[in-house]
Amino acid sequence: MGKTVAAADMARGHLAGRWAHVANACLLAACGLWATAASAQAPAGTPAKARTTAAAAAKNPTGFNIAPAPAWVLPVPVDAGLVAQLPKAPLQLLVIDRQTRVEAGDETRYMRAVRQINETAGLEAGAQLQIEFDPSYQKLTLHKLELWRNGQRIDKLDARQVKLLQRESQLERQMVDGRSTASVVLSDVRVGDRVEFAYSLRGANPVFEGKFVDTDWALGVRGPTALLRYRLLAPQGRAIQVQADPSRIETNSQVQAGWRDTVMRRTLIPQFQSDANTPPAAYLPDVIQLSEYADWADVARWATRVFTPGGGAAPAVQAQADTLAGPAADAVAERVRRTLDFVQNEVRYFGTETGINSHRPADPDQVLKQRFGDCKDKVALLVALLKAQGVVATPVLVSTGFHDDVARMLPSPLAFNHVIARVQVGDQAWLLDGTRSRQTGPLAERQSFGLGQGLVVDAGTAGLSSVPDGHDTLRVAGEDRLVFTSLAEDPRLSADIVYHGDVAESVRHTLDAQPASELEKQFLDEYTRFYSGAQLDGAMQVDEVEGHNALRVRLNFKLPNYLRLVDRKTLVGDYGLPGLVQMLRLPDQVPRKLPMVLGSPGIYRHTLEFRFPEEVYTSEAKRPFDVVDPNFELHIAADFKRASARFDGELRLLNEQLKAADWSAHREQLVKLWPRLMGTVNVPTIGPKEAARLTERGKKDNAETLRVLSSRRTKVQVTAQINLWVAQAQLDSNRLTPLLRAKILTERGVQQDHLGQASEAALSFTEALKLDPSNSEAHAGLSVNALMQRQDALAIEHASKALALAPSDSGPRYTRAYAHYYAGQPEQARDELLEVLKNRADVDRGYATLWLHVVSKRLGSDGVAATQPFKPSDSKPAWPYPVVELLNGTGSLDQALAAARADKDETDGRLCELYFFLGQQQLLDGKPQVARDWFQKAVNTRVVEFVEYALAERELQKLAAR
């Protein structure tokens, strides 16, 4: 019997908590299902007892025979009509035919398959034949191996080409089953060939005491399948139950000459697609089940005989039991714990499952001597040791894949793949697992949960019993603390995650199986989902929780640039509750047709606390959030203090799986609640004292504020003055990291430039660049500032740096064009403008066209001709196109003046631009006195925030120097 896969599965999802028990139905057989028929994936037989003799073995030293098919086999032809309906695929299965004949103490299982190879991708699977069998009780006979090409039959059955291998395919699971593999690799197989083979296995596993059991997965694993047939031929008196889903599998039965002939057929089977999120029981409708056991009581009686050794405890077992019992004063629970520790840790897991040992445990005395065994061996020893101490203990058969769905199966030993022990301690019955070697702590924290229905191995058992579901069991508790020593510095995040019970065991297994660095990386990957750029700060710490079956993982993270600036007023940081998000995360897929595994039912908690060094909230508040759903309950309590915020979340997962019909509703529910599991924390950029000063400054009776604002000429200047006060308050609050401080300094510089405070603005930009040399906005601002202060080389330098950092930003290219123009480099200015005008949006804006006209005239070219290719998209273009038309001679001054005055709020700025370009036109036309008048008019607008204002001042200074 195979070892439980629960721990290994949980290790793959220790963070997410999604324990994928087995990905698909065919894997169940490979992961410890006691005995199965061959899947469609590979031709193999089901255990059967062979009537072999020493003489027969001597005749056939190869381990197999070659002979015609038995006379009782009824051939089934390839149905061309069905084949024509198969979807295209590299490999198609035209026929899978399994026939089983049951006799007294004997079974013969016949298998025939026809494969069609259609593409190169199907050659590997189509040209290999592997037959697994147990030579301790089975005999293999090969009947046919043929290749059909262009209607011609090629016989490929050659004993010399059959390799008998002892592969032990389950050795990595610490199991030796003694099975052999007859392997044939066909030569000269081509696309278009059809491969047909047939063989039979004779013999019955004596562990079933002459009763017949079988399961067959009616799935098209290797490719789409035209016909799958299972035929059972048994004496009429044998009460063999058959279970097959009538919606998928057609079943017919007839009796003739004392034999019952039952045929099950499934046609046009699509190729099986594995889905790790689908519970194994979802594939039960694809299973053909056969069992001669009348009911679960019958199975329990069989199991009782299998698990009950003859006589009492062997001397060595009794001696070990006495040692484990310890002082007489010790409580029974403590004795049980010591005994469980011994079996889990001193008897290593290793299974020998050849023949009858597939289900019958080794004698406890033998297991104790060899100090190894699989689940049934370890449970047999655990039960024997406890009974020798007077403790009531009984084996319980369970399924690690089917859980509650065992009740949907035929009563059969094949329904189970694992065994645990029920141990009675006073009024309490514990379900304990001898294979879980990574358990610690008291019995209450070591019980097996979530295994659904089990079968107690007792002659008096009448049916299945429920295993505790674990709904009220704490599985994971995480606590994150995000601490700021200063809001001007990046915070540190510490995470303490405590794993309980089987989840703790899975993490221990993971740490044993891989370097700690791999687990660290998994944690980092998970946390960076919520905290972008998070970095581990020091090594992960792992500690056992004293006195519990629990493990604590501690991690520390750096959060570079955690807070970001939003609307230049609020600091925002992302957060999440990973422990809850992981359990509620869904695969991104269309509505499902099959159920989906949700995870292990139980309680999952996650807490996040923000700690600030000063008050960031003006009031305190509590905000509960609760969702009650058929599949889970979610409770989140948000508690905001003035200098802290805390989020306490608890998820109670109620169901292990989700019905396919409930997928859409469940997904919609999660989409609605996701914002509660992750979000942003908001911190004002301005502290309480600075905010109070701003509030005071904004009061209507503040004469100084009114005086300053009333001195401003335009709305832009009024807004700039207010923004300047806000920026200064932000800087004085000392809540900004260096990069964010650089942003606000850049903002302050822009506002200062808008107010005509060029020198002060230059200092702001320079200070910003000291903090963040890669701040493209600061370089762009400093380039404009330098241009306004007539420092053309500096303007070109910083505009170039801004463009290198932000190539798509056209603003620095405009500035560089202006600077080249005033530096006496009109050719470079023209080239810059032409580069700008490659962008249709800049053509529609019109300013590059205006400047191209001016630059072209400066170069002695025709400004009208130069701008002709750059027409705006709009038939009635907005400002400044009236100025372009005026310069080109297609518009009048009156029209341009009317357009400038059309928007009252924009009038002064537009007039400044109009006057400046009229001055440029007159200057280039050789009329400096007229140009002076226009430049003076531009300066008289007092719109110091406009580049044209500063350039008009510059032109006036040059004209005055003539």
φ/ψ of 923, rounded to 5, equals -65, -45
Residue 787 in any domain: the answer is no
DSSP at 362: P
143, 237: one domain = yes
Question: How open is the CA angle 387-388-393, to the nearest 5 degrees?
Answer: 10
Query: Can you tell me whether residue 215 is helix, strand or coil?
Result: strand
274, 371: one domain = no
Query: Can you tell me whether residue 12 is helix, strand or coil?
Result: coil
262, 320: one domain = no
DSSP state letters, 717-768: HHHHHHHHHHHHHHHHHT---HHHHHHHHHHHHHHHHHTT-HHHHHHHHHHH
d(CA 574, CA 564): 9
Q: 499-529, pLDDT tens digit by residue?
A: 999 999 999 999 999 999 999 999 999 999 9
pTM above 0.75, yes or no: yes
- What CATH number should be reported for the domain holding residue 277? 2.60.40.3140
Residues in the chain, overall count: 962
**Single residue among 643, 659, 683 that ends a domain in this structure:** 683
Residues 285 and 441: beta-carbon distance below 8 Å = no
Tokens coding 203:
């013999």
Tally the C-alpha atoms within 13 A of residue 788's C-alpha that lie toward its C-beta.
25
Q: How many domains does the chain have?
A: 4
448, 592: one domain = no
**Single residue among 649, 683, 717 that ends a domain in this structure:** 683
- Residue 865 CB neighbour total at 10 angstroms: 11
Beta partners for residue 597, in sequence order: 657
114, 260: one domain = yes
Beta partners for residue 604, in sequence order: 476, 651
Residues 586 and 459: beta-carbon distance below 8 Å = no
247, 120: one domain = yes
412, 556: one domain = no
Residue 825 in any domain: the answer is no
Q: What domain range includes position 563?
A: 474-683
Q: 877-892, pLDDT tens digit by residue?
A: 999 999 999 999 999 9
Beta partners for residue 140, in sequence order: 64, 201
Give the pLDDT score at 701.
Answer: 60
Tokens coding 173:
């699971």
Instruction: Give, rounded to a whole angstrom, the gap between the first and last alpha carbons of the chain.
Output: 105
- 103, exposed or middle or buried, with CB in 10 Å at 0-12, 13-18, 19+? middle
Which of 553, 559, 540 is closest to 485 using CA atoms? 559
138, 271: one domain = yes
Q: Which residues of 362-374 are buried (b: 16+ CB within 10 A; e: fewer)?
A: bbbbbbbeeebbb
Is the four-CA dihedral 173, 176, 182, 187 of positive or negative sign? positive
245, 169: one domain = yes
**Single residue among 439, 465, 491 that ends a domain in this structure:** 465
Helix boundaries (H) for 18-175:
25-30, 54-59, 80-85, 123-126
Q: 782-837, pLDDT tens digit by residue?
A: 999 999 999 999 999 999 999 999 999 999 999 999 999 999 999 999 999 999 99
Give the pLDDT score at 353.
Answer: 67
407, 514: one domain = no
394, 518: one domain = no
Q: Which residues have C-beta within 8 Å of that of residue 410, sequence separation ≥ 6?
A: 241, 243, 289, 290, 291, 293
Give the pLDDT score at 53.
Answer: 33
Q: Which residues have C-beta within 8 Å of that of residue 188, sequence separation ≥ 6?
A: none
Residue 68 in any domain: the answer is yes
**Strands 392-398 vs 418-425: parallel, antiparallel or unpaired:** antiparallel
d(CA 310, CA 300): 18
Which of 350, 417, 418, 344 is closest to 382 using CA atoms? 344
236, 353: one domain = no
Low-confidence ranges of the chain (pLDDT < 50): 1-59, 170-175
Residue 803 in any domain: the answer is no
Give the pLDDT score at 48.
Answer: 32
Residue 827 in any domain: the answer is no
DSSP state letters, 886-905: HHHTSS-HHHHHHHHTSSGG
**Strands 64-66 vs 139-149: parallel, antiparallel or unpaired:** parallel
Give the pLDDT score at 85.
Answer: 97
d(CA 817, CA 837): 12
Does residue 390 come out as left (phi exceeding 0), alpha (psi in the -120 to 50 range) or beta? Answer: left
Query: Can you tell me whether residue 572 is helix, strand or coil?
Result: strand
Residue 835 in any domain: the answer is no
Residue 799 in any domain: the answer is no
d(CA 146, CA 444): 60
DSSP at 271: B
Residues 912 and 946: beta-carbon distance below 8 Å = yes
Residue 745 in any domain: the answer is no
Which of 904, 841, 907 is closest to 874 using CA atoms? 841
